[in-house]
Amino acid sequence: MSVSRKILLFGKNGQLGRELQRSLQPLGQVIALDVDSSEHAADFSRPQQLAETVRAVQPDWIINAAAYTAVDKAEGEPELAHAINAEAPGILAAEAERLGAWLLHYSTDYVFDGSGERPWTETDAPAPLNVYGRTKLEGEQRVVAACSRYLILRTSWVYGAYGSNFARTMLNLAQTRETLAVVDDQIGAPTSAMWLADLTAALIPLLERQPALAGLYHAVAAGETSWHGYAKFVIAQAKLMGWPVKVGDADIRTVSSSEFAAGARRPLNSRLDTTKLRAAFGIEPPDWRTGLTEMLKTGGGFLMRVTPTDIPEVLILSPNVFNDNRGYFCESFNQRTFRQLTGIDVRFVQENYSHSSKAVLRGLHYQIEHAQGKLIRVLQGRIYDVALDIRRYSPTVGKWVGVELCAEGLQQLWIPPGFAHGFMVLSDTADILYKTTDYYYPEHERCIRWNDPDLAIDWPTEMTPILSVRDENCSGYAQSPLYEMK
């Protein structure tokens, strides 16, 4: 794990920001902020405050996933949309230039007027139709004018497991209504927030090695569809997967943009050409149907998403978070959903709570009998969590996986029985809550040395770990008994 790169992420609570918190973690230290952050100012409606935040954090990368995206509402709030979409990116660009940092900024297909049927290229002249498009275009222009080390990714029709988007709206409506009317003359590519976040994480090291590739790129899924085709696909797939859908295929009727009352004009042609992105970075965007199918398979984002790690049985659980002006709500765990998504029928019998100071390292612990499955959650702070496979005859025996968990990310780590577990605290303090599938039996507890060279676990090396006497005297991996898989 690299901890030398410092990444400042704005817009952490949006559907893209949530995915970026996941995808950026392996690249270094991520400082994720949103409008309600208390430690640093991140309110884009007051953009002058952002310079102070950048100067305090001193990041290597600034990732701007914050935006005013209420297209119709922007027509009545042009000043607010301008502050968030134009002024704020310009200030971030100027601060990035002053620091010698990189700025990665996201923009939109709405910078074009939607004429014709040819996919828009990066060199085509923008001509936005509405306030949202005009402010996003000005944001692009301010970034280019103020910063030499920038990447702008224009994208379209973004959806994800978090927040509000077209796919989830259709899923809701299809379960409560018997007919739907959807626009069929606007064409574009539904693009997964998860893919955009993964693309971002892939591009950062590439740009560091080849800074000449800085610039503006179109980043959307492959293929095209209309909003009507999009809705039909989502609902048809949901029905195949057993969702309680009331709407039949023939019940989704078409309407034109002119028939659909909206406060702002939309471009009819939102196709974006990704030739430049593919040629520069060798990245092939997935078909637009791929990400949608995956989202539906994992519960449509309504409860949780399950992501395998490099050891497939060790899973990252990401809940869907519902935000409003009071705060937020999420289901941190749902046994039925977990069973549906993983096939694992888990039963927890004990819950443990740990409070630890910075650099405290606990582990690697396991029970040779009554092996415990664990669901790890950070309530406060940030840790580096490690699971080591000690299941004899497992294809990954002796392999480990490390995951950074933080309270803000709300992610949890599922570690199945037959693994040794340990963590190191990266923040000033951390509170960890973990559920177990079997009780604690001290007579069966074993410990493997945290820094065994045969394992070569990539702990954060800038800190000297604080260990208990027991953990200082653990056996090496080669001398430790393995768990016999039953």
Instruction: Check pLDDT > 70 for residue 301.
Output: no
Instruction: Check pLDDT > 80 for residue 49.
Output: yes
pLDDT average, residue stretch 112-135: 96
Confidence (pLDDT) at 436: 97
Confidence grade of residue 188 (pLDDT, cut at 50, 70, 90): very high
Confidence (pLDDT) at 1: 35
Distance CA 300, CA 348 (A): 25
**Cα Rg for the chain, rounded, in angstroms?**
24
pLDDT one-digit tens code per residue, 50-90: 999 999 999 999 999 999 999 999 999 999 999 999 999 99
DSSP state of 451: T
Instruction: Check pLDDT > 70 for residue 303.
Output: no
DSSP state of 465: P
pLDDT average, residue stretch 159-167: 78
List the beta bridge partners of residue 378. 432
Confidence (pLDDT) at 2: 41
Instruction: Check pLDDT > 70 for residue 486.
Output: no
Q: Is 440 a catalytic residue?
A: no
Confidence (pLDDT) at 307: 76
Do the beta carbons of residue 204 and residue 61 sit within 8 Å? yes
Phi/psi region, residue 100 (left: phi>0; alpha: psi -120 to 50; beta: rest), is left
Tokens 């977990």 found at: 338
Instruction: Check pLDDT > 60 for residue 234.
Output: yes
| Pairing state between β 102-108 and 150-155 | parallel
Confidence grade of residue 329 (pLDDT, cut at 50, 70, 90): confident
Distance CA 92, CA 255 (A): 41
Distance CA 367, CA 176 (A): 49
Instruction: Check pLDDT > 70 for residue 102.
Output: yes
pLDDT average, residue stretch 304-330: 80
Q: Which of 106, 110, 132, 366 is catalytic?
A: 132
What is the percent of the chain with per-residue pLDDT over 90, rounded to a whole number?
A: 70
- Note if the bond before 92 is cis, omega within 30 degrees: no
Of 146 and 169, more confident: 146
Confidence (pLDDT) at 3: 46
Architecture of the domain defined by 323-479? Sandwich (2.60)
Confidence (pLDDT) at 146: 97
Lowest-pLDDT range, 225-229, 297-301, 416-420, 445-449? 297-301
Do the beta carbons of residue 343 and residue 336 sit within 8 Å? no
Distance CA 474, CA 470 (A): 6
Cα separation values, 189 from 154, 232, 246, 323, 425, Å: 12, 14, 26, 27, 42
List the beta bridge partners of residue 161. none
Confidence grade of residue 340 (pLDDT, cut at 50, 70, 90): low
pLDDT average, residue stretch 373-390: 97
Confidence grade of residue 330 (pLDDT, cut at 50, 70, 90): confident
Do the beta carbons of residue 379 and residue 432 sit within 8 Å? yes
Fold of the domain spanning 6-166+178-227+253-301: Rossmann fold (3.40.50)
Confidence (pLDDT) at 52: 92
Confidence grade of residue 14 (pLDDT, cut at 50, 70, 90): confident
Where are the chain's structural domains?
A: 6-166+178-227+253-301, 323-479
> How high is the mean pLDDT of the chain?
91
